[in-house]
Amino acid sequence: MTSDVLAIDVRGLTKRFGARTVVDDVAIQVRRGEICGFLGPNGSGKTTTIRMLCGLLEPDAGEGQCLGHDIRREARRIKRRVGYMTQRFGLYEDLTIEENLDFVARAYGMPARREVVRGALERLGLVERRQQLAGSLSGGWKQRLALAACMLHQPELLLLDEPTAGVDPKARRDFWQQIHALAAEGLTVLVSTHYMDEAERCHRLAYISYGKLLAKGTAEEVIEQAGLRTWELRGGDLTAASELLQTDPRWMVVAFGGAVHVSAPKAEDLQAWLVAHNAGARWQVTPIPTGLEDVFIALTAHAQDNFQ
């Protein structure tokens, strides 16, 4: 259940490694009880931003608060109230599920840890597997164990760094049901992901590319802000259609099964362009709704590479 109180409120967030600025003047606001999708290509600065928010990295510039604590002066307090699930499985593969959770509970110095561990096992459906070695688990069950571990101390903010990478569709769906159930109880979630179907499950989105925050809002707002039109092309020899369109940088062309999707700024007219290039009758052109993937490809294509 979302509220008007901000769990994350940062601005000007900047981090440099040597001469390269990997996070550049980023501002993020996330309300309590909200699921915010943090999107962007590999190397865009998502993980670095998440680590600054939870106190693992000190920003070179910027200010703000996380759970009411100053991100610079009170990083240690933030860590105690945040659950952070990393990209890679970070628990001990030669310990059982129950032993791993007990170890984490000990690390937090939790009283009545046996009851806490038992509750975590029950909440995430791990009771039947509690004696199974973590190293023998599938990707989906490892993901569930990692979530149980970072929820043991009852955090108020959950930071998830590409948590469903390499996980099958059913496990991903189950995971998102758990995340929405936790958010309904008031937990705030910031989740980085590459999957557009997962982005659509979030209350709000923030898109970062090459260290720059390029778009934020609900999925509908982000699509509207992009100002794109999208068409579907069908007909024979779609490879020729793609090759023709790619001679003009205005068109973004993506193959979709037996069709080609083309996006461009709203001022453009694909049918008129094809007619002007003597191809007006070769393919059937149908307007279709612009999707998040179309928007993010367009944003990334126009972003400046921070390696340059």
- List the chain pLDDT tens, one digit each, 308 residues: 566 899 999 999 999 999 999 999 999 999 999 999 999 888 889 999 999 998 889 999 999 999 999 999 999 999 889 999 988 888 999 999 999 999 999 988 888 999 999 999 998 889 999 999 999 998 888 988 999 999 999 999 999 988 887 788 888 888 899 999 999 999 999 999 888 888 999 999 999 988 999 999 999 999 999 999 999 999 999 999 999 999 999 999 988 889 999 999 999 999 999 999 998 889 999 999 999 989 988 887 765 565 55
Q: Cα torsion for 247, 253, 161, 199, to the nearest 10°?
A: 140
* Cβ-based neighbour number of residue 164 at 10 Å: 21
Residue carrying structure tokens 């993506």: 254
pLDDT of residue 298: 85
Least Cα distance to 265 among 239, 229, 222, 219 occurs for: 229
| Exposure letters 282-294 (e unless 16+ CB within 10 A, then b) | bbebeeeebbbeb
pTM of the predicted protein model = 0.87
pLDDT of residue 8: 96
Token pair of 27 as six digits: 């501002």
Least Cα distance to 157 among 38, 60, 27 occurs for: 38
Q: Could you tell me the domains of the chain?
A: 6-223 (3.40.50.300), 228-289 (3.30.70)
DSSP notation for 109-151:
T-TTHHHHHHHHHHHTT-GGGTTSBGGGS-HHHHHHHHHHHHH
Residue 173: C-alpha distances to residues 134, 167, 197, 246, 262 (Å): 21, 10, 10, 36, 29
Length of the chain: 308
pLDDT of residue 304: 59
Q: Are 162 and 173 in contact (CB under 8 A)?
A: no
pLDDT of residue 139: 86
pLDDT of residue 162: 87
